[in-house]
Amino acid sequence: MASRRPAKDQPASFDWTPENKAWCEEQIKKYPQGRQASCVIPFLWRGQKQEGWVSIPMMERIARQLDMPYIRVYEVATFYTMFNLAPEGEFFVQLCGTTPCMLRGSNELREVCKKVIGEEGHVTEDGKFSWLEVECLGACCNAPMIQISTKDGDHYYEDLTPEILEDLLGKLARGEEVKIGTQHPGRHTSDPEGDNTTLTDPSLYDGSRAQPLKEIPNSAPKEPAGQ
């Protein structure tokens, strides 16, 4: 894995919102004294949800809260690719590029992202969009798909075509409501497209198509060695 480094431009400081500060205090109570470091990933994730990315001041604050060396927090934040080490757009588009999505057209979706947003990692001038190609997001049955993360949460958009993705990004840019989940007009969640096609022919499971075996494999007795 290529090394990951924090952005050069960093904020002067970081502080939790009152709500998140109270949340952190409750999490620490779940662990015995001296075991607070177990909270490091939840704290980093909560901080990213608050700010949109993980800054150095955030890591320093978390290290002090959990009474652990800063370098240990840094190691965690830079190892896991789910932590953004630089500011992302208001709509952070994560394009799945692994095999099922690739076979279903993710390369074409990548070109749409480049056309509408810019190069990978680029944040648009209005701060609305950035994008990144990621590994499998687990919605292979509805490939190709993307995840869009905002401060309000993460949502999947599936069964995409270049035209649908470009229209989707346009609606988000204009502040219009978009449909979450599959974009296929004939699919409900991850149901098959159209009608069911599995085992609809009785002959596939009632035995009528089965052919009698001429012999059972490996049924003939083996001759003893040397005879």
CA atoms within 13 A on the CB side of 43: 30
User: So what's the pLDDT on residue 159?
Assistant: 96
Q: Which residues of the chain have pLDDT under 50?
A: none
Amino acid 221 reads P
- Residue ranges at the known binding site for [2Fe-2S] cluster: 96, 101, 136, 140
- Residue ranges at the known binding site: 96, 101, 136, 140
Report the predicted TM-score, pTM, of the whole model to 2 decimal places: 0.74
From-to residues of CATH 3.40.30.10 in the chain: 91-182
User: So what's the pLDDT on residue 225?
Assistant: 65
- Placement of tokens 């085992």 in the chain: 199
Residue by residue, DSSP assigns 145-159 as -EEEEETTEEEEEES
User: So what's the pLDDT on residue 2?
Assistant: 60
Q: Give one word for 58, left, alpha or beta, with left for phi > 0 and alpha for psi -120 to 50.
A: alpha
Q: What is the pLDDT of residues 6-42, one digit of tens each?
A: 999 999 999 999 999 999 999 999 999 889 999 999 9
Specify the CATH class of 18-79 in words: mainly alpha
User: So what's the pLDDT on residue 199?
Assistant: 74
From-to residues of CATH 1.10.10.1590 in the chain: 18-79
Quote the tokens at residue 102: 């690739």
Q: Which CATH number fits domain 91-182: 3.40.30.10, 3.40.50.300, 2.60.120.200, 3.90.730.10?
A: 3.40.30.10
User: So what's the pLDDT on residue 226?
Assistant: 64
User: So what's the pLDDT on residue 200?
Assistant: 79
